[in-house]
Copies of this chain bind each other. A is one copy, B any other.
Amino acid sequence: MAKLQKSIDKRNALVKATIELVNNNGFHATPMSKIAKMAKVSPATIYLYFENKQDLVNQTYIEVKAQYTSYAFETYNETMSVEEGFKLIWNRIADFKLKECENAMFLAQCDNTPMIDEESRQEGIKHLQPLLDLWERGRKEGIIKPLSDYLLYAYAINPLSFLMIIQKRGVFTLDKTHLEEAYQSAWSSIKVCQ
């Protein structure tokens, strides 16, 4: 039970500092010493909570990914119609990416670089199951195009990542109108026409 006694606050501070620093500098350009400093902790203390730097970033990734999907599906349930369900999930994801912008950026970076272990990556993918189930149902009902899960994901959900990154760079800003339009694009791209 030793581990339970350790302050969970310190662990959280470390994870938070990791996200912020990796967002701004990238994984290998954020020294453990800086993470420690931002979390107001000694570098040596990090090693009480994590095996090493790789473990720290892996765990952070899995944690943020879990947070992301749990937020996405929180208000969804399987009795909804496919269209309703998709709209709800899509909007929750958009919400998350706007409100938890730092977390979303971190996930995008992890997903596009070799900084995460293959094992942790697989772990992160599992959480998407409810969405895959919804699509399966949609295809059976003839509402969603009979495409592979990844194609659906690429056209319906993933563009949001790109928009958030562009937004972060200050090239343009997303507002409510954009989001409604983006949702319409997403839905057009995966629904069966007519």
Chain B contacts of A190 at CB under 8 A? 185
Tallying the copies of this chain within the complex gives 2
Chain B contacts of A80 at CB under 8 A? none
Q: Is A86 an interface residue (CB 8 A)?
A: no
Q: Is A99 an interface residue (CB 8 A)?
A: no
Contact partner, A112, options B109, B159, B171, B188, Cβ 8 Å: B109
Which interface class (under 10, 10 to 19, 20 to 34, 35 or more) fits A? 35 or more
Known contacts A26-B27, A28-B29, A188-B189, A154 near B182 by CB under 8 Å: yes
Mark out the residues of chain A between 156 and 194 whose CB falls within 8 Å of any chain B CB in the assembled complex: 158-163, 165-166, 169, 171-172, 178, 181-182, 184-186, 188-190, 193
Contact partner, A24, options B114, B125, B162, Cβ 8 Å: B114
**A154→B163 contact, CB < 8 A:** yes
The winner among A159, A160, A193 for most chain B CB atoms within 10 A is A159
Chain B contacts of A158 at CB under 8 A? 158-159, 162
Mark out the residues of chain A between 124 and 182 whose CB falls within 8 Å of any chain B CB in the assembled complex: 125, 145, 147-148, 150-151, 153-155, 158-163, 165-166, 169, 171-172, 178, 181-182
**A145→B112 contact, CB < 8 A:** no
16 pairs, CB–CB < 8 Å, chain A vs chain B: A23-B114, A26-B113, A26-B115, A27-B28, A28-B28, A112-B165, A121-B169, A147-B181, A148-B172, A151-B178, A151-B181, A154-B166, A155-B159, A155-B189, A185-B189, A186-B189
Can you add 14 more A-B contacts, CB < 8 Å, to A26-B27, A111-B165, A155-B159? Answer: A24-B114, A28-B28, A111-B112, A145-B181, A147-B181, A147-B185, A150-B162, A151-B163, A154-B159, A155-B155, A155-B185, A185-B189, A186-B189, A189-B189
